[in-house]
Structure 1
Amino acid sequence: IEFWQGRYSRLHDRIRYINNENSPGEEAKQPNKQGVSLWNRIRLNP
């Protein structure tokens, strides 16, 4: 999943979220029982 943060300058506002736990088609879970997020957040280049 990739999102835009909605800033006026679009140079540095792209973020990609990658689910570490679930296979495609499975319902996303967040956070897990230990309180650790199952999603990696990656800031993308313009």
Structure 2
Amino acid sequence: MHGRKLVTVVLDEHTVTVYDADTPIKAVPRRSTTDLNRTKAKHQITTKGQP
């Protein structure tokens, strides 16, 4: 349903919320209070004809 879509992730003090445009998809409690420094996508979307 949400495969290959760009989403927005909002980190609050107590929750992590994932949005598709302005619609929240999922909100879960944060398990850690440390700062998020970096993220990296695990898969790249490629199209035919691109190197």
TM-score by length of 1: 0.29
Report the structure number with the largest CA radius of gyration.
2
Per chain length, whose mean CA-contact separation is higher, i.e. which structure has more relative contact order (CA < 8 Å, sep 6+)?
1
